[in-house]
Structure formats: C-alpha cells, structure tokens
Structure 1
Amino acid sequence: MPPSVDPSVSVTLAEIARIAGVGRAAVSNWRRRHDSFPAPVGGTDTSPQFALSQVEEWLRRQGKLDEVGSRERLWPEFEALGDRDTMGRAIAAAGARLAREEAGHAAGPPDTDVAEGLPYDTRLSEAQRSLVERAVGLARKHGARETFDFLLGRWLDTHVRQIGVTPRPLAALMAEVAELSRDGEAGDVGTVLDPACGTGGLLLAAARQWAGKVDAHPSGVPLKLLGQDVDPTQAALAAVRILLAGHSPKSETAGEVDARTGNTPRLDGHSPGRETAWEVDVRAGNTLRADPHPDVRADVVLCNPPFNERDWGYEELATDARWTYGLPPRTEPELAWTQHALSRLAPGGTAVLLLPPGVASRRAGRRIRAGLLRSGMLRAVVALPPGSAPPHSVALHLWVLRAPAGGGTDAGAGVLLVDAAEIQPEPSGGTQRAGRAAIDWSLLHRRVVSAIQVIQVGDEVGNRSAHHAVVPVIDLLDEEVDLTPARHVPKRAASANLGLRRSWNRFGTLLHELRDLTATLSALELSGDEPAGQGTVTVGDLLRAGALTMRAGQQPADGAVRTGDAPDDAVPLLTITDVLAGGRPSGWLPASEASAGETAGTLTVTVPEEVVVVGAYRAFGAWVDTDAPTVLGSQLSALRVDPTLLDPWFLAGCLRAPANARQAGTHASTSSRIDVRRLQVLRLPLEEQRRYGEAFRRLTAFERSLREARTIGGELVDGLTDGLAAGTMPRDWS
C-alpha cells in the first residue's frame, strides 16, 4: 500500500508530466480525453493546480504511474513544507539518515540523526518525520546519493535567488588552478578549507581533484575537507552532501557519522576500486567574526565569499591579527576574506577565491593590493566571462594566492594576469530571455590552465600571449594599483579572430534570412486605393463586442522580482524600461509566484498568441507573445482574441502602425500615453485577416533579423577597427 499523501499538496501540469514520465502535451491530452481526470483545486485557467493525492490515484488507476516518477512524486511534499529553511532541514535530515545507513549504522529516529549528525540541533514535526521516512525508503530502491542530490537540486532551483551556487565546471577549474599553482607535489594535499562553503560545491570539487592522490601524502592521513557557513541549513546540507559523495556502492569498509568537535559530521570512507579516502568537518558559524576553524592551516583554500557584505564586522575586527596587509575598508569585505584565506594557509599552500571585478581596481583597496603584490602572495588574477557564476551579468575574477614554502616572502616575482572575459556563447537569434548565458567551459578551461602553467614553470616576467601576460610587480605598483587583466593584456589578432569568426558566421546566417524575407515582402504590391466597403473598428468596439479581452500590466511587489540566474521554469518580467532598452526582460519571477499572483489578480501573465501592446508613445509597439508566459509590468497590456473572430498576427500588425499610435495618443509628445481602446483595426473577414496576418508575421521576422544584423554589424565594425588600428593588417589582403 503506497504511503498517504497530504491532501493539501498541489501540483502543476508540468509536475504531473514529470511524475508520470511524459511530456506536458500528454497530460493536456489526458485532461481532454478523460472525464475522470481530477479537477483543478487552484491556480488559474492558464496554470491550474491539482491535488497530488487525486493525481496519484488517477495515474495509478490508469496504469500510468511507474518508477520513473517516484522522486518527482516526493518533491511537491517537500515544497509544501513552507519556507526555505524548513524544507532544507528536512532534506538534510533525510541525508543524515541515508549517510548513517551507507556507513553501516542503524538508522535511529529522524530527530536523533539531526541532532547528532548535523551542524545544528532541531526537532522535526510529525509530517516532516513521515516525509523523511518516505525519502529514506525511496532512496533504498533508487540510491542514497541520487535521491539526496535530486532533492537538493530541486531545493536550490526553488530558492535560486537567495542561494548562490558555484557552477560545477567553475568549481572544478578552481580546484585544478589551485593544484597547478601550489608548491610541492600534487599528492601532498592533506587539508582543503572552504570558509564560505554554502552547499559544498567547492569541497566536492576538491574531493574529485585530490581524493585519489592521498596515498602519496607523506603523512599517510586521509584528505580532510573542512567547511563552514554562516547559514546553518546550508552547512548541514553541505555536510551530508559530502558524506554521501564519499560512499561507494562497492565500499567494503566505511566510517561513521558522529558528533566530533561538537555536533559535526565526519566520514572516513574507503572505496577499494578507486583508492579514495577523506574526512569531512563542516560547521555552522560566522567565519570573519567567530571562525569555527581558528587553528587550521590548510594546504588549499577554495572560496566563493559573499559579495558586497557591508556588515562584515569592520568595527569589532579593527585590531584582528589577520589584517597583515592593512585593515580592509568597510566597503571592501572581499579583501577581508582574501586576508582571512591567507591566514589559514600552511607554508606552500594556495588559495583560489572568486571575487567581483571591482576588488581589482577600487581605490579604497589599493593599499592592501599593493601589500599583496610586494609580499609576493598574489600570484595571478583571471578575468572570467560574464555568466560564469552568479551574478551572471558580471565578469568575475579568480584570485590565486600562494604562501611561500619557506614561510617568508617571494617579492619581485611577476604577477600572471589572464583575460578570458571575452569568451562568449555563440550569437543566437530570436528573443533573448532572462537567464544564464551559455559558457564554452572547454575553451575557458584550456585558456586558463595553459596560462596558469606559466606560474608552474617559473614565472617568466614579460611572458605574453594573446590572452595573458606576466607583469612585473613594479609595473603594477603605480598610483592606482589596478589589477584588472584587460588593462595589462593587449588584445591580439588571434584572440579577436575567434569572436570575429563567430560574428561573421551569424551575420551570414542573418543575411540569408533577410534575403529570403526580402524576396517575399518585396513581392507585396500595395494598392493606392482603399478597397470598397473596408472600414475600421476600434479596440474599444472589439472589447464591447466580445471579440477580445484586455488586461492591463501591473508592477510586481517590491522584492518579488529576481535578476540573474533563472531556473528553467522562471517567468520573465517585461517592463517599459526593458522595451526601451531593446526588449530583453531583465528580471523574472518563480513560476509558483507568477501563478499565485495571477490567481490573486496582482500580476498579469500572458499566454501564447496573446497580443502585447505598449501604452507609451516613446516605446509604442504591439506584437504576438510567442514566448509566453511573460509577466507584464505597468504601461503594457495583454489582448486575448476570440480565434473565431480575430487573427492575433493581424491584430498586432494593425495596432502597431505608427499612424495608429499618433491618432490614439493623449497628446503629441514623447511622454504621451496611448489609449489602447482608441487604436484602430481594419474590418476584414477572418480568412482575409489570416492573409494579412501572415504578411505581418513575416514583416516582424524581417524586423528582428534586421535589428540583430545591425547589432552584430556594429560589433564587427568595432572589432575590425580595433584590430586594424593595432597594426594587424595581413600582408596578403588587398
């Protein structure tokens, strides 16, 4: 008998599709074909929600519920627990239970596991204990690590705005950079520390990098993975995540999860097939104010510290011994994290930190940057492309620091500056939506690793390539002490050519598209005479006749809009500012919040084939929303047509006519508002509307291709101008 499901838990059509292991279209077909399909219990017409218990019962009766959706059936119940921390604690509790079972210990009651195995003490409610039991039971069939990773991944996707995660390719790159940059042999890494570990991504990368090499460590001790985070929930999740990653299904022996040094989890896991072993010590605590690992001296420090954290302890830490190179200004918390990382390095150790680009150039931090240069501690600065990690709109930097093996200084050596910021995804056509950029991780890895190897072979001052330069320290110790790589790595033809080739390829594709559209549109012979009997009708008239409905856009509540990294089901927000800036949504809302706002009437969310109209003269436009759903801000409206009376492409084409906007404007100026109800539409039969609509659709495609071609053409002109001005004209060109 399957365990009962809380009747208050609801799911969307997309979640039903995942549970059943089918596409969303299949679920829509089930709704149409089967009268017995459960009725919605909430949501909206465009995004209905259904009771999970009823859905499971129906799927089971229809024979459509199999093992594919087992974990998917579990997630809505975790999500229904409420806030972020409650969900996270329940997932961590399930992970702790699984870690104990993987280690060969009796499970024990859920509350006991939480108290003994995690960096905090809590008690679970009856509903949470039941859910943990179900998760553990499911994991026994589908794998402990796989089940936990699934739940953790969904939790991170749900709370992507509040929790920044270092992408796995970047975490792996940081670990490899640390290995290439340090003194000593690769196998002698005994301790790795992450003082702001979050959910443990960098520590997992360290385990992958060094766990197989610990047999070469002279002390013979296992690799130690040490972490801490100010957020107890994230610290707990990191602990059990790394514990579970240390177990292999083929393990012959395994250690224990205990309360060493308080209530901290530990694992000594051995997998004979790959000779791995590590210990885990993750603690909750404020690293800068009260470091949970004050006596640690690590071989490697990997860290993605919090950005722009003004309340980091400036007053109470003014005399702290860690500030060897000066008290970090209140506005420079990243330099506090940098000096903290150095203070926790053993002689010969290496630290790799992910920092915002302003740390390399802000005037307030120049004295500390100069101190790091003079001491030889700062070995490299790598500029990454935008989109490498949150915040995705910023080209972040990697700072590589190394403590000399002798414990002294290494003054006089050069500093490696690597500029990989221009690595960009392939240009693409169509509407760009809010979300993360696609990074060419393979190219980024090759470029950074090949440059970092310069340090490994001897810091040849003056060494330069198309993408990096080893700059003498004395050249950097000027009035600004600006360490931004782009200021010191000259652009070379080789580095520019890759971007130019991509742009030329996309430009050529656009020219083909424009040529085809030109052939079609140029065949339109516009008559100078208005056809007899053809009149116009206003949007207001169509509204009164029931041919369409109109909804005005609304501004979301303060704090509701997210920016940067977006999950797959995020709903973009389009505002009048975005339209003025080119039409790309700059923010987004979680699907659940967009649906709830639409249900409450506080948000306007489009559906496919709705016509969006901008009600401001300076940005006037109308188009068919083919990328729905989209949340519309103020001064935008959504028009939904009755398809038996109106064609949406025809309506959008008529509405967007410049003469139409002038006629419907409230007064003749750029600040004029457009009265959408006064906009006029041709009065034509539906079949004739469709002919006009197809012409309008092709005209819209022509406009988009032309706009993108103009943008890429401008980039080509700028890039070629820079290259030619640098004297890179090939000899065989004429």
Structure 2
Amino acid sequence: MTITQQELETRLWDAANALRGPVDPADFKTYVFPMLFWKWISDTWTYEHEEAVAEYGDDLDDEVEADFHRFEMPAGTLWSEVTTKVKNLGPEIARTFQQIEKVNPRSLAGVFGDASWGNQERIPESALLGLIKAFNQIRLDPSTVSHDLLGAGYEYLLKNFADESGKKAGEFFTPRAVVHLLVGILEPQPGEAVYDPACGSGGMLVATINQLRDSGVDHRTLRLYGQEINLTTSSIARMNLFLHEIEDFDIKRGDTLRAPAFKDTSGAVRRFDVVIANPPFSLANWGADRWAADPRAMCGVPPAKNGDLAFVQHMVSSMKSDTGRVGVVMPHGVLFRGGAEGRIRQCLIERDLLEAVVGLPPNLFYSTQIPACLLIFRDKKSVDRKNHVLFVDGSARFEKGKNQNRMSEDDVKTLLEAYRTGKDPDGEGGANVRLVPFNEIENHGFDLNIGRYIKVAAEETADLGTALVAYADARQHRIEAEQAMFERLDAAGIDLSMFGARGE
C-alpha cells in the first residue's frame, strides 16, 4: 500500500515533534535523520529478504541472499529487533549504529553521526520512545515509499528544521530556489564530475541529479563529490544522497580551506567540471597563515578575518580547463571591499575568469539579512562574453515572507533566462541586465557593485544591502580597535572598570 507525499510529510513531522520540549529544535536533525535512515534501511532489508524467500524458497542461502541487499544488516540490528527492548534503549541504538557501520565500511562508515544516544540529558528516554512510536506508523520500504517520495520527504524535513533553527540553519540549508537557480546556470551534463566544497546537507549535489532527471537525460553517469567540516551535517548529506537513490558520490568530512580532501596524484587540488557552493559568509579564522605559499592563492591571500575570496579561489582552482565552471553564493561585500580583496577581485577579472554577477533579493538566507549574489566563473567564456562581465539584478524578484523572503519558480526562470540570453526577459530595455566591457570595470577600480553598471530595480533594497555590509565591516573594526585599546590600558595598569562594558 503506497503512501501519499502529504501523509509521509505529516508522519515525518510527527516524529520530529515527539522531541519537542526536552530537545532543542536546532538539534532535531541530529536525532531524526539517523532514526529515519535506520528505519529505511531496516524496512528495505526486510522487503528484500521477503523477495529473496519468494524467489528461492528453501534453496535460499546467505550467499544468494546477499545479492538482494544494498546494505548488510547484522543479526539483531533491524529496527523491529532493537526498538522493542525495554532497558538501556539509547545505548542499544548507539551499539546498533556502530555494528551497521562496521559491516558496511565502504558505504556507511560514520553515516549515523555522533549523537549521544545514551545521554538522557540530551534526549530523555521518553522522547526517544515517542520518536520510535511515530516512526512505527510509517513503513519505508519500496512497496510503500518510492525514492522520489522519500527524497521529497527528506527535503521537507530539512526545510522545516531550517525554519525551526533560525540563523543556525545557514550552516546546513540553502534556500532551494537559490540552489535551482545556481544549478540551472551551471547546467551539469551526463558524465561530468560535480564538486561542492561546503556541501552542507547535500542539497546542491542532489539538485544536479534532479535537473538531469527532469530533463529526461541519463543522470546515472554524473559523479558527485563534497566536503563538509561539520560531522553531523556531513552525515546528513550522505543520508540525503542515499535516500535519493544516488550511488556514485563521495562525501568527505574536513576543513576545505586548511585541508582540501580531493587531490590528484601530484598533490594539487583535484579538478571538476562543475564546482558549486554556498560557503559560510565572511568566515573568520579560516587559516590565512597557511595560504602564502598555497597554489590556490593564485591572486593573493584574503584577509585573515574574512575567508570569502579564499573559498572563491579554491573553487576556481578546482575547475577543469576548458569545461570548468564555478557558481558560488557570496555576500555583496566581495563586490566592492578594498585592500587584499580588491586586488584579488582585479586579478580574477583581468584573467577573464569572472563571467557573471547575479544579484539576489534581500533576506533569502537563514544566516543573514544582508543581500547576497551569485558569482559565476568559467575557464573558457563564450566569444561574446570574453573581456566582459554580465550583470543581472534580481533584487526585486521575490515574494515577501514572514521570516525569510522567497523566490518563486517564476522568479528563478526569469533570472535564468536573463543570464542565458543577456537580455531583460520582461522586455524593459535591458534595465536589469547588462554585459559590461572590461575597460568600464577597470575605470571603476574593479569595483563590481551592481548599481554602478545597471539601473537597479529596487534601489532602496540594493542601497540597504550595501549599507548593511559597510556597517558590519565598520562595527568589526571598531570592536577590534577597542579590544586593542583595552589590552594596552590593562598592560599599563589602568583600572578598566571606569570604562564599563569592554567591547561587545
């Protein structure tokens, strides 16, 4: 008996709500996703076992049955065998996860994350029992839930967890409209390798597969690679790909800027056809001290307290010759900040690597209200775009939301058409799209602020974004100056209590 998407989503959210109260909503994903994944592989294993028995009957042996299973489930690790235990349920679940990972080392090592299942301060047994009870209402084998439906259910949970987590959601979730726009611009093709150096929950990688599926072409030859610094989030990404029936992927955990995980035989960073990411905005303490001699610093070392252009240079270094293209989400500050960032920006433009700047609406992201943009790089630009940069202003393409603004499917299609054609799809004389020659950018000191080159549709929004970025930079400089002053006063033996609060 199949289940509808609405029924699945309702039951999955009921499972999450079983944790409400004793567990912080920002931590729901830490517990719900491993349980969902375990329930899925358990139900699927049982379904596959029944198929094997139906086909072979008494002739079935372990070697034959192994061919029916995608994952191995040791005796005593099925959902039905563990969740009915009445003592030490949390520790039993933790041991079960370890056993499953151990017998599936190539595919499932570390996939369940590092949640403290036995710590009743983190997840009381009553909450765990409620979670199990809710999942017992859902059968997750192929006869009930297709991979498409299950993948959609997973995305539904990710979105809801992001809404519950507020700003913390920026660490693992990118609004799907932004993902679809970026994937649409980069157009992954069958047989290509796609890499996300800050892959979060894997949404961008999943979207590349879905785009090929939706286009009716063979997606099975697409190879996916990702790196993610957070253990829980990297585990969520792997589960996400498995649940979307994606086989050919490699997700590594680690710090991309300090220790890139994907390298070629010479030790250089590996190159891919498509490089796509929404890295953390303006990351401080990103490892600048190691970059002076790093080949990825092709255009210079970014400021130690702002890693935006470190991610950009890593991504540009990771794209293949000829076919390589890069799409990255960035704060507007990278378009106009000076100093080392200005020099890096100039270098990338002079090398004719930057193809397009696409301005996004404000307040789309969970982590910041500052408007963001997409930077598109290509190793080989089309003839008409050589020595030019395409500017697309999408600041007015949104629907107002309660907490975050939203881009509709129509908004995404409009911006995608503007990028592809270089023309205003609304037929307003190209007011929001313009192909700008190199010499004009040079005359502006390689400042890429969108308002310098095209008539901005939502000038107040754009101006507000620029002002917010400038304010954030000034505020940080002020805090640093105050801290330095207090340290000097303290060293001189001056009583600091007369100054009241010390910084922020």
Superposed pair shares fold, TM > 0.5: yes
* Counterparts of residues 135-150 of structure 1 (less than 5 Å): 137-140=136-139, 143=145, 144-145=150-151, 148-149=154-155
How far apart are residue 485 of structure 1 and its match? 1.8
* Residues 285 and 425 of structure 1: CA distance in aligned 2, closer, same or farther (over 3 Å): same
How far apart are residue 216 of structure 1 and its match? 6.3
**Counterpart residue identity of residue 307, structure 1:** F
How far apart are residue 140 of structure 1 and its match? 1.3
* Counterparts of residues 347-496 of structure 1 (less than 5 Å): 347=321, 348-364=323-339, 365-391=341-367, 393-404=369-380, 413-423=387-397, 425=399, 435-446=403-414, 448-454=415-421, 465-478=430-443, 480-490=445-455
- Does residue 157 (structure 1) correspond to residue 176 (structure 2)? The answer is no
Q: Hey, what does 2:93 align to over in structure 1?
A: none
Q: Does the CA contact (< 8 Å) of 2:185 and 2:419 recur in 1?
A: yes
Q: Hey, what does 1:344 align to over in structure 2?
A: 318
Q: 1:171 aligns with which of 164, 171, 179?
A: 179
- Return 5+ residue gaps in structure 1 as ranges: 1-20, 22-65, 180-185, 247-266, 269-278, 427-432, 458-463, 500-563, 565-734
SS in 2 for 1:187: coil
- Does residue 234 (structure 1) correspond to residue 233 (structure 2)? The answer is yes
- Return 5+ residue gaps in structure 2 as ranges: 1-5, 45-68, 78-95, 119-124, 265-269, 424-428, 462-467, 469-504
- The CA distance in 2 between the partners of 1:420 and 1:202, in whole Å, is 20
Q: Does the CA contact (< 8 Å) of 2:177 and 2:412 recur in 1?
A: no
**CA deviation string 1:207-239 (max 9, x = no partner):** 11235679669xxx7211212211111111111
* Counterparts of residues 273-672 of structure 1 (less than 5 Å): 279-295=248-264, 296-347=270-321, 348-364=323-339, 365-391=341-367, 393-404=369-380, 413-423=387-397, 425=399, 435-446=403-414, 448-454=415-421, 465-478=430-443, 480-490=445-455
SS in 1 for 2:377: strand
- The CA distance in 1 between the partners of 2:21 and 2:444, in whole Å, is 56
**Counterpart residue identity of residue 237, structure 1:** I
Q: Does the CA contact (< 8 Å) of 1:96 and 1:114 recur in 2?
A: no
SS in 2 for 1:169: helix
**Counterpart residue identity of residue 290, structure 1:** A
Normalised to the residue count of structure 1, the TM-score between the two structures is 0.46
How far apart are residue 294 of structure 1 and its match? 2.9
**Counterpart residue identity of residue 350, structure 1:** R
**Counterpart residue identity of residue 371, structure 1:** C
**CA deviation string 1:69-94 (max 9, x = no partner):** 64454223334563578643322322
How far apart are residue 290 of structure 1 and its match? 1.1
SS in 2 for 1:91: helix
SS in 2 for 1:282: strand
* Residues 148 and 413 of structure 1: CA distance in aligned 2, closer, same or farther (over 3 Å): closer
- The CA distance in 2 between the partners of 1:68 and 1:307, in whole Å, is 31
Q: Hey, what does 1:201 align to over in structure 2?
A: 203
* Residues 83 and 480 of structure 1: CA distance in aligned 2, closer, same or farther (over 3 Å): same
SS in 2 for 1:416: strand
How far apart are residue 312 of structure 1 and its match? 0.5
How far apart are residue 441 of structure 1 and its match? 4.6
SS in 2 for 1:386: coil
- Does residue 191 (structure 1) correspond to residue 189 (structure 2)? The answer is no
* Counterparts of residues 70-85 of structure 1 (less than 5 Å): 70-79=11-20, 82=23
Q: Hey, what does 1:244 align to over in structure 2?
A: 243
* Residues 450 and 148 of structure 1: CA distance in aligned 2, closer, same or farther (over 3 Å): closer
- Does residue 92 (structure 1) correspond to residue 84 (structure 2)? The answer is no
* Residues 223 and 88 of structure 1: CA distance in aligned 2, closer, same or farther (over 3 Å): same
How far apart are residue 297 of structure 1 and its match? 1.8
Q: Does the CA contact (< 8 Å) of 1:366 and 1:481 recur in 2?
A: yes
* Residues 373 and 214 of structure 1: CA distance in aligned 2, closer, same or farther (over 3 Å): farther
**Counterpart residue identity of residue 393, structure 1:** Q
* Residues 451 and 345 of structure 1: CA distance in aligned 2, closer, same or farther (over 3 Å): same
- The CA distance in 2 between the partners of 1:211 and 1:359, in whole Å, is 34
SS in 2 for 1:476: helix
- The CA distance in 1 between the partners of 2:252 and 2:360, in whole Å, is 30
How far apart are residue 474 of structure 1 and its match? 2.0
- The CA distance in 1 between the partners of 2:352 and 2:451, in whole Å, is 21
* Residues 281 and 134 of structure 1: CA distance in aligned 2, closer, same or farther (over 3 Å): farther
- The CA distance in 2 between the partners of 1:149 and 1:335, in whole Å, is 30
Q: Aligned-residue CA RMSD in angstroms? A: 3.8
SS in 2 for 1:379: strand
- The CA distance in 1 between the partners of 2:347 and 2:162, in whole Å, is 38
How far apart are residue 375 of structure 1 and its match? 1.0
**CA deviation string 1:242-278 (max 9, x = no partner):** 21012xxxxxxxxxxxxxxxxxxxx53xxxxxxxxxx
Normalised to the residue count of structure 2, the TM-score between the two structures is 0.65
**Counterpart residue identity of residue 74, structure 1:** A
SS in 1 for 2:167: coil
Q: Does the CA contact (< 8 Å) of 2:336 and 2:449 recur in 1?
A: yes
**Counterpart residue identity of residue 203, structure 2:** G
* Residues 73 and 198 of structure 1: CA distance in aligned 2, closer, same or farther (over 3 Å): same
* Residues 478 and 327 of structure 1: CA distance in aligned 2, closer, same or farther (over 3 Å): farther
Q: Does the CA contact (< 8 Å) of 2:166 and 2:366 recur in 1?
A: no
More strand by share: 1
- The CA distance in 2 between the partners of 1:155 and 1:424, in whole Å, is 22
How far apart are residue 405 of structure 1 and its match? 8.7
Q: Does the CA contact (< 8 Å) of 1:379 and 1:401 recur in 2?
A: yes
The structure number with the bigger radius of gyration is: 1
**Counterpart residue identity of residue 324, structure 2:** G
* Residues 330 and 132 of structure 1: CA distance in aligned 2, closer, same or farther (over 3 Å): same
* Residues 354 and 481 of structure 1: CA distance in aligned 2, closer, same or farther (over 3 Å): same
* Residues 147 and 188 of structure 1: CA distance in aligned 2, closer, same or farther (over 3 Å): closer
SS in 2 for 1:298: coil
**Counterpart residue identity of residue 358, structure 1:** G
SS in 2 for 1:471: strand
- The CA distance in 2 between the partners of 1:399 and 1:327, in whole Å, is 19
More helix by share: 2
**Counterpart residue identity of residue 351, structure 1:** V
Name the % identity: 24
How far apart are residue 131 of structure 1 and its match? 6.6
How far apart are residue 95 of structure 1 and its match? 3.8
- The CA distance in 2 between the partners of 1:123 and 1:306, in whole Å, is 23
The structure, 1 or 2, with the larger RCO (C-alpha pairs under 8 Å, 6+ apart) is 2
How far apart are residue 122 of structure 1 and its match? 3.8
* Residues 294 and 212 of structure 1: CA distance in aligned 2, closer, same or farther (over 3 Å): farther
**Counterpart residue identity of residue 356, structure 2:** A
Q: Does the CA contact (< 8 Å) of 2:177 and 2:407 recur in 1?
A: no
How far apart are residue 440 of structure 1 and its match? 4.6
* Residues 67 and 377 of structure 1: CA distance in aligned 2, closer, same or farther (over 3 Å): closer
SS in 2 for 1:222: coil
